[in-house]
Chain A
């Protein structure tokens, strides 16, 4: 805001307010009578009011724009082009959003699948796991059956008769 505009913000005096209301025809009856009495006895004020009114009336001389049809047409064309561009932009934005949504969905599905597989693998019993763990026994099953008793094998191990085998077992 420049200095001139700042000075616009300073309130006008009561007299000035009365003058502008008078000139705009917005003065109430009592105030109008009061001003008329002052104008009758104050030539300088009367001259000032007349000049203000004349200057204002001269603004009627300012030309009003006359526009031909081409202005309307070119404006509507411009608006139509802009509206079309807006629609294209919206469509492209919507497509981009849909693509991102699709990609996000696919990524989320992949992650969920991975997590689900891991959880399932960890939580649910795997029937083959026991088999893998028991594989050394299964492989020697014929031999164990010939011995007949697991307690006997334990006694042999405790007797320390075959220390090298015991170490290998460890």
Chain B
């Protein structure tokens, strides 16, 4: 089983590898070349930006790795954003990490900033300025950011993760493999959504449920969703779809006929005749909703609501502020958390949305996320969310029960202090 593909390196690649550009560059280039050989890439390509997931603390090794790069004088060669960390630096004490973990977690954040990355601390880098354009090769980590960049922006990224993300940022290079290769971006599965009623697709949560079903149907295949009126499509909904599909399956690229950029360009050429086809119905969305719910049904006590996984956008803040505009507060026994980025929180404060949410009793988390680190009170047993990704991971990560529902259901439940369901939204 000897490798059959020879990797071609340019003279500049070779120079980066042999230390002519410094020891930090050489270390990063060794990692890029190792991945290229491992994945049988024929050559490397330039990447225009990087998004780093390595800044979340998983132990001493990740910190030693980042600090070694700093020590060897490495810096990023392309604009680089940082994913969530293990701490909320704007709200000290909010994350209940012991000093033995909080110290190194903070040092890890500092190391990535020292390498030249922007202190964005968000899993939704696509919500902040300078987004990659359609057709641009990038090296992004974090499954929801990867699927959004590929699907909604039409940028091209393979699935990057810890160590490789920063190596690509420092070298500005990545192996020409996977979704960087145009031929690999053509859908091989059609998912017919025409049987889902228009009023079901009118809630954002339905798109998370749809994403769950898409992840199950597509696994790691590239799919195209057909039969969806472009009038229902927006970025918040595609964020919900993609992040959930990347959790329940390994989806890194989906297309929506008539809506997402590559599907619009392909027009009637996609799906290619003979493409395998499956259908998703409103029943499947209801089943997804129930599979994303671990808590016993309606009427049970609710201790918390968590919104903003992936990070809450400015438009999601606007929608929430509208629902909360009648001034009814949340039940004091139910804590409401909104995870977002510093940049979006600042904009929401400027627009007045943040104040409306706070008056109702909501609290904000930035730089990190409520499903990754201890933020919810230890007394919380049952939490509700609009996020398919949060519903998927929180029971295992936090040891709590979850109810997945629409924003309206979450708000009504937080006000009642118990789980409220509106079946009409799902039929």
The answer to whether A and B come from one shared complex is no
